[in-house]
Amino acid sequence: MLQEHGLDYEEIVLNQKISSRASRAVTGATTVPQVFIDGESIGDSEALSAYLGA
């Protein structure tokens, strides 16, 4: 969706260095992906779709 809307993004893949536990500590969410735009938490992919008006 981000590419379709011409938005640049950085993907951070959860792995041994960045765990789902760390992601949850930052976002409070248990689902992935978690999307941030200009440092603001948008939420998961459904929230991104709503944000973009898709």
Distance CA 40, CA 10 (A): 14
Task: Residue 49: give the domain boundaries.
Answer: 1-54
pLDDT tens digits along 28-47: 787 788 888 888 889 899 99
Whether the pLDDT of residue 16 is over 90: the answer is no
Distance CA 50, CA 21 (A): 26
Average pLDDT, the chain: 85
pLDDT at 47: 94
- The pTM score is 0.70
Kindly indicate the confidence band of residue 24, based on its pLDDT and cuts at 50, 70 and 90.
confident
> Which residue stretches of 1-54 are H helix?
20-27, 45-52
Domain CATH number, residue 43: 3.40.30.10
Total domains, the chain = 1
**What average pLDDT does the segment 7-34 reach?**
80
The DSSP letter of residue 35 is E
Coil/strand/helix, residue 44: coil
